[in-house]
Amino acid sequence: MVDNKIEEFYRIRVGNLATDKDIDNVIEGFPDFQKIEGLDVVIKELLRTFMIVKGSYVFDPAYGANLHRYIFEQADAQTFKDISSEVSGVINSIKTNANIDHDVLFFKNKRGFRINLIITENDIKRNVLVDIDESILKTFDR
């Protein structure tokens, strides 16, 4: 009997390998949590991971990214390679069926860069732009 309830929970709440499913918090409105699935799960997880400083989770020090360190670096080939490597590490750490490609573009009129994510799953394609600039430094304690 207990096994059936656990299996039912995984089938209904967690999902199967065909579709990513998760629960996301909502700051305003009711209810406080909403069920998300598909590419929305992948996008939320990527954005969450990009904004967490690597090493800040005691029990999972590899979780996160250090993209904030490259905001004031020179826009050269080495910085491009380092940022691309950091983004690839985050992408590879996410368990998903989606295909995720990325490109990095440096800003010309301000410090920082833009990550262009191209996420494809089941013939659905989404482009997500992530700006990493001075404004995100306000969210870090370090």
Q: What is the pLDDT of residue 41?
A: 84
Distance of alpha carbon 38 from the chain centroid: 14
The domain segmentation of the chain, as residue ranges, is: 2-139
As given in the structure block, the two tokens for residue 58 are 């005691």
Tens of pLDDT, residue by residue, the chain (142 residues): 455 666 665 555 555 555 666 666 666 666 677 777 778 888 889 998 999 899 898 898 999 999 999 999 999 999 999 999 999 999 999 888 889 999 999 999 989 999 999 999 888 899 999 999 988 877 655 4
Q: What is the pLDDT of residue 68?
A: 92
Q: What is the pLDDT of residue 17?
A: 54
Q: How far apart are CA 57 and CA 42, in angstroms?
A: 20
Q: How far apart are CA 56 and CA 131, in angstroms?
A: 21
Over residues 66-95, the pLDDT tens digits come to 999 999 999 999 999 999 999 999 999 988
Paired with 112 in beta bridges are 133
Q: What is the pLDDT of residue 22?
A: 64
Q: What is the pLDDT of residue 76?
A: 94
Q: Is 65 within 8 Å of 86 (Cβ atoms)? A: yes
Q: How far apart are CA 41 and CA 68, in angstroms?
A: 23
Q: Looking at the domain that runs over 2-139, which CATH code has it been given?
A: 3.10.450.40
Q: Is 118 helix (H, G, I), strand (E, B) or coil?
A: strand
Q: What is the pLDDT of residue 127?
A: 95
Q: What is the pLDDT of residue 78?
A: 96
